[in-house]
Amino acid sequence: MKEEKESLHPRNKHRTSYDFKSLISCCPELEKFVFVNKYNNETIDFANPKAVKFLNKALLKKFYAISNWDIPASYLCPPIPGRADYIHYIADLLASCNEKEIPTGKFIRILDIGVGANCVYPLIGNYEYGWSFVGSDIDSIAINSGKKIAESNPNLKNIELRKQNSAEHIFNGIIKPGEFFDATVCNPPFHSSQAEAQAGAVRKVKNLSGGKTKNPVLNFGGQNAELWCDGGEKEFISKMIKESVAFSANCLWFTSLVSKSENLPSIYNQLGNAKAVEVKTIEMKQGNKISRIIAWTFQNTTERGDWKTKRFK
């Protein structure tokens, strides 16, 4: 029996180690990247962007029925288990407003800020819970890639991609008048500059390769808008909090990943200034990496009860 990764969410399909025989049957291109390591376990070189891409293709097909998935060269190729964790914790967050029952189906609407070319959050959330998604991005290539993925998999339903035309805005220009979302998700740009992003990518690749890669390939690290913005994730989340006030009645829970724990005090302060009614911090762990979700709502207990009555079927 394979050992479980207990740090992942209990409903996460990736709690056991990868069954490469099964994954190769889903994506034959993966086979040439699989090898047996010194511990006599099958694995891939996670510093190799092609290996990671074909692993993702296999995982998405095996666990989420996504037969057609690809991303343009040099766009972010995310770890599927971690992305799945976020979706499952969002399900728990919504259940907390619904007598601990997870609301499912197309009437539940999630807004993915910075959906990326990979479109992973909508793919997982649509399959696991039947939720509808709107994904926004400032990058036209990412939007077109996401549309292609959604359109080329007939089993996917109710996934819409919208272009954000202003680098100064997050919700403005995306949420339409009278439109409602049950939650937002976001994997904000982590770094504060391109140089910082490149240095971080070098460290990541060297760590994954055990220091063996002297000239790391960075093209699985993502485009500029995916990796960095002025002020990094701290400034991006600050902007998100400020804009969320204007849409306080349009969304039940606003959420974002927070990679750097040292950013939390500033974020809590911003949420206090914005007069968020409730703030939750949800810790996630994948291997040695610890991250967390920050979630906030402007709706009190009575308003959340009304939301449940109107929207949770």
Residue-wise pLDDT for 300-309, tens only, equals 999 999 999 9
What's the structural domain count of the chain? 1
- What is the C-alpha to C-alpha distance for residues 84 and 82, in angstroms, rounded to an integer? 5
Report the first-to-last Cα separation within the chain, whole angstroms.
39
Which residues have CB under 8 Å from 24's CB, separation 6+?
30, 31, 34, 58
> What's residue 307's pLDDT?
97
Which residues have CB under 8 Å from 195's CB, separation 6+?
none
Instruction: Indicate whether 35 belongs to any domain.
Output: no
Give the mean model confidence (pLDDT) for residues 20-39.
Answer: 96
Instruction: Indicate whether 280 belongs to any domain.
Output: yes
Nearest to 127 by CA among 62, 31, 187: 62
Give the mean model confidence (pLDDT) for residues 104-117.
Answer: 97
Distances (CA, A) of 28 to 22, 31, 57, 109, 240: 10, 6, 10, 35, 41
> What's residue 202's pLDDT?
46
Nearest to 281 by CA among 256, 307, 308, 248: 256
Over residues 172-226, the pLDDT tens digits come to 999 999 999 999 999 998 634 444 444 444 444 445 445 555 555 544 455 455 4
Over residues 129-173, the pLDDT tens digits come to 999 999 999 999 999 999 999 999 999 999 999 999 998 999 999
- What is the C-alpha to C-alpha distance for residues 111 and 294, in angstroms, rounded to an integer? 15
CATH number assigned to the domain comprising residue 100: 3.40.50.150
Instruction: Indicate whether 39 belongs to any domain.
Output: no
Instruction: Indicate whether 116 belongs to any domain.
Output: yes
Q: What is the DSSP letter of 36?
A: E
Instruction: Indicate whether 2 belongs to any domain.
Output: no
Instruction: Indicate whether 17 belongs to any domain.
Output: no
Instruction: Indicate whether 144 belongs to any domain.
Output: yes
| Cβ–Cβ < 8 Å for 220, 226 | no
Instruction: Indicate whether 212 belongs to any domain.
Output: yes
Range of the domain at 208: 70-311
